[in-house]
Structure 1
Amino acid sequence: MSSLRPTHPKEVQEAVRSHPRLLPRGGGSKPALSTPRERQVALELIGLSGVLEYNPGEYVVVARAGTPLSELEALLKAHGQYLPFDPPFARQGATLGGTVAAGLSGPMRNRYGGVRDFILGVEFVDGLGNLVRGGGKVVKNAAGFDLPKLMVGSLGRLGVLTELAFKVFPYPKATATLEVAFPNLGEALEALYRLAASPIELYALDLVPPSRLVLRLGGLPEALSPRLERLERFLNQQGERLQGEAEEAYWEGVNDLGRLGEGYLVKVALTPRRIPTLEARLGAAPRRYMSAGHLLYLAWNEPLEALDEALRAEGLPGLVLRGVVANPRIGLNLEGPFGLKVTAALDPQGRFERYAAPN
C-alpha cells in the first residue's frame, strides 16, 4: 500500500493534484472507513497536527485535522473545558478530522447535541487541489452555504480536511450516573420517552438492551446526590449509582465502544420510536442506544447482508466503522440528487473514493 504523509496544507494540495485516487486517513481507529482500496493512495493526515488557536475565554479552538482527539481533549481538560459532542475512539488514536468525516458523536451528545452543532469552520482541499475555507471562528457567521456542516459525515468524498474550528463548553464540576433496570423493554422505553420530554438535564440517556437505562448527571458535587434521589422518584424506581473515578472510568469504556464486543461495528441513526421493531430484528447482537434513542452502536457477528436487510426493512441508514467491507454504508441510502451534485462540484475528477450507493 502506497501512502503519503503531508505536514502542511500545501503538501495536501500537491498530493491531490498528483494522484488520481486518494483516501484521506487519520489515526486508523475506524478501519472500515480508512483502509485503502485498489489503486488508492493513502493520505496519512496524522502529520498534519497541532492546535493553531485556543483562547479558553472565547470557548473556541482551531486545530489541524490530523490532531489526535486525546491531545486536544487533554488541552481542553486543563482549562476545565471539553467537546460537548463527546467524540468516541480518543484512546484508539482517532483524529479530529476523522471524527468529522465520519460524523461521530458519543453518549454525552444528549445534553447539547452532536458534532454538527459545534463545528464552526473548516479548511479543506477539494478534488482540484484548491484550498477552500468555509465558516469561521465565531458562533454566528454570515448567511450562506454551510460548508462546515456539509463536511460532517462526508467520509472524505468531498475533500481532504486540513483545519477545523469548534466551539467548546465548560466541563461539569462533577458527574454521577444512575443505572436502572426495568422488567421489560416496553417499560424501559416508556421511561426513556418520559425523561426525554422532561425538563431534567441529562448529559447521557442510554438504553442498554434488553431493558436497562443508564443516566448521567452533571453539576455541582453537593447537588448530585439530591438530584439522583429526585431522578429515582421521577422513575418510581431505585437504581445503582456510580460516582467518582469509577464513574469516569465507566464512561471512558463506553466511549471506546470496545465493550460491545468483536465483529463489525456499526453506527445507526434513528428515532426512539423505531427501537421496538428494530429490536425484534437484531437478535443477540451487543448494542447500546445513546442520546435518548437517536443513536445506536452495535457489534454484528453475522453476515453483514442480514443487518443491511434489517436496516432497509426499517428504513434506517447504517455506517460500518470496523470490519472488511466493500461499502461501509448499509441500509437506507440517504444520498439524494443534491448530494451527488455537491460531490461532483467539489470532486469533478473523482479523485476521492466514492463508494457505490446502496440499492
Structure 2
Amino acid sequence: MNEGVTTVHPTSPAEVQEAVRSYTQLLPRGGGSKSALSTPQEGQTVLDLSGLTGVREYDPGEYVFVARAGTRLAEIQEMLAQNGQYLPFDPPLAEAGATLGGTVAAGLSGPLRQRYGGVRDFILGVQFVDGEGNAVRGGGKVVKNAAGFDLPKLMVGSLGRLGVLVEVAFKVFPFPKATATLEVTLSNLQEALEALYKLASSPLEFYALDLKTSPQGIALVLRIGGLPETLPARLDRLRQFLGNPPETLLEGHAERAYWAKVNQLEGEGYWVKIPLQPRAIFGLERALPAGTRRYLSAGHLLYLLWPGPIDELDTLLKHQGLAGLVLRGTPVSPWIGIDLSHPFGARVAAALDPTGRFGGYP
C-alpha cells in the first residue's frame, strides 16, 4: 500500500455513511484478496470494510441469507455447508480472504457457474451508500422479479464505482449428494474445442465444463453431480459421447480438493479475468505464450495468470478484440484490452455519485 494513505475502518452502515460524507476520494476495500482492485491511487482514502461483518439472517428452509458486505466467503461457505447448501456461482479466492462485497463488486464466479449461472443470477438484494452518503436499498430477500431499476445486478462488477456495499442478500442451493470429475485428454486444441461445443449444446448436465490447455496437452474437465447411484452410468454415457478418449477420474476427497485448488488462483504474476466467446479461444491460444490455462463455463471465462509486463497483455487483448480486468498485481489501471465503457454506466454513476467520490465509471 502507498505510504501516507489514510484508512478508515467503519463497523456499521452509519459509520460508512459518515466516512463517505467526510472524504472526497474513496476506495472501498474488503479482504484485500484482489490487490489490483484494492490498492489506492494517490489522494484516495481507503474505506476498509473488513469490520463490517456478520450474517443478519439465514433461513435454510428458504435457501436465502443476508449478510454484511465485509463478511468473508469462507465463513459463509462453512455456514451453508452445515446445511448441505452452497453458493452456486462458486466464487474464487475464499481461502485468500475474499468477502461477499468484494466478490459482488468484482463480479467473480468460479467453475460451478456452469450449472446455474453467475453471481448476477443469485444476488437478491443490496444495501449500499451512494456518493452523497445516503443509504440506498435495492431488491430484497425474496426470490422474485420486480419492475424498475435492478440495483442488485447493477452492483455486480461495479468495482465500488457506484456506491459502497454494506449488505447483500443471496439465494443458495443444496449441494449435490455426490460429485465426480472426469478429465479427458484430446489430441489437439481444435479437437478439444469441437468436443467442447458439442458438450455445451448437448442435453447433458454439468456442474463444471472447462477446457484446460498446457504444454503437456489439451483436456476437457467435466464435473457432474447428483445421487451417488446415478453417477457411474452418467460417466459411462459421457465416455461414449466423447468416443472413450484417455481419462482421469476424480472422486471423493481428492475431487473436492482439486476444485478448491482451482479456485485459489495461485501463482506469481498478474491474475486477469477475461470474458470471451468460445469461438475466440483458438485465436487467443495462438497469440498467448506457452503456459497452463483453464477456460471456465464452456469457454466463456478465462482467469489468466500473466507473468510478464501487463502492458504486453493489454496490447495482445486489444489485437484479439478482448477486454480484461486485472485482479491481482498492481497495474496502473485494472482495465486492460479494448474499452467496454458504455454511456449508460456513466449516467448511472453520475446519478449515484455526482461528485465522483468513488472514481467515476470507466
Alignment TM class, shorter chain as reference: over 0.9
Distance 1:232 1:173 in 2: 22
Structure 1 residue identity aligned to 2:48:
E
> Which residue is equivalent to 2:295?
289
Correspondent of 1:66 among 58, 65, 70:
70
Distance 1:354 1:191 in 2: 42
Deviates more, 1:236-245 or 1:188-197: 236-245
> Which residue is equivalent to 1:236?
243
Unaligned runs of 5+ in 1: none
Structure 2 residue identity aligned to 1:329:
W
Q: Indicate if the aligned counterparts of 1:174 and 1:220 stay in contact, CA closer than 8 A.
A: yes
Q: Give the secondary structure class of the aligned counterpart of 2:50.
A: helix
Q: Give the secondary structure class of the aligned counterpart of 2:101.
A: helix
Identity of matched residues, %: 68
Structure 1 residue identity aligned to 2:279:
R
1:216 maps to 2:223: yes
Structure 2 residue identity aligned to 1:223:
T
Query: Structure 1 residue 253: deviation in Å?
Result: 0.1
Distance 1:327 1:59 in 2: 38
Q: Give the secondary structure class of the aligned counterpart of 1:46.
A: coil
Query: Structure 1 residue 40: deviation in Å?
Result: 1.1
Query: Structure 1 residue 20: deviation in Å?
Result: 0.6
1:37 maps to 2:25: no
Q: Indicate if the aligned counterparts of 1:285 and 1:301 stay in contact, CA closer than 8 A.
A: no
> Which residue is equivalent to 1:342?
348
Correspondent of 1:249 among 249, 252, 257:
257
Query: Structure 1 residue 287: deviation in Å?
Result: 1.9
Q: Give the secondary structure class of the aligned counterpart of 2:91.
A: coil
> Which residue is equivalent to 1:167?
171
Structure 1 residue identity aligned to 2:240:
R
> Which residue is equivalent to 1:141?
145
Q: Indicate if the aligned counterparts of 1:285 and 1:298 stay in contact, CA closer than 8 A.
A: no
Distance 1:188 1:114 in 2: 24
> Which residue is equivalent to 2:327?
321
Q: Deviation digits for residues 134-191 of structure 1, max 9, x if unmatched? A: 1111111320010000000001000000000111001000110000010000000011
Structure 2 residue identity aligned to 1:215:
L
1:17 maps to 2:12: no
Q: Indicate if the aligned counterparts of 2:94 and 2:264 stay in contact, CA closer than 8 A.
A: yes
Q: Deviation digits for residues 23-69 of structure 1, max 9, x if unmatched? A: 10000100000011111111111111011111011111111000000
Distance 1:328 1:14 in 2: 28
Distance 1:74 1:225 in 2: 29
Q: Indicate if the aligned counterparts of 1:318 and 1:330 stay in contact, CA closer than 8 A.
A: yes
Distance 2:331 2:29 in 1: 16
Q: Indicate if the aligned counterparts of 2:349 and 2:360 stay in contact, CA closer than 8 A.
A: no
Structure 2 residue identity aligned to 1:242:
L
Structure 1 residue identity aligned to 2:32:
G
> Which residue is equivalent to 2:204?
200
Deviates more, 1:222-231 or 1:292-301: 222-231
Q: Indicate if the aligned counterparts of 1:23 and 1:156 stay in contact, CA closer than 8 A.
A: yes
Distance 1:30 1:284 in 2: 25
Correspondent of 2:57 among 53, 59, 63:
53
With normalisation by structure 1, the TM-score equals: 0.97
1:276 maps to 2:282: yes
With normalisation by structure 2, the TM-score equals: 0.96
Distance 1:289 1:352 in 2: 32
Distance 1:250 1:15 in 2: 42
Distance 1:194 1:145 in 2: 37
> Which residue is equivalent to 2:94?
90
1:225 maps to 2:232: yes
Q: Deviation digits for residues 92-131 of structure 1, max 9, x if unmatched? A: 0000000000000000000000000111110000000000
Q: Give the secondary structure class of the aligned counterpart of 1:58.
A: coil
Q: Indicate if the aligned counterparts of 2:68 and 2:166 stay in contact, CA closer than 8 A.
A: yes
Q: Give the secondary structure class of the aligned counterpart of 1:154.
A: coil
1:79 maps to 2:97: no
> Which structure dedicates a bigger proportion of its chain to helix?
1
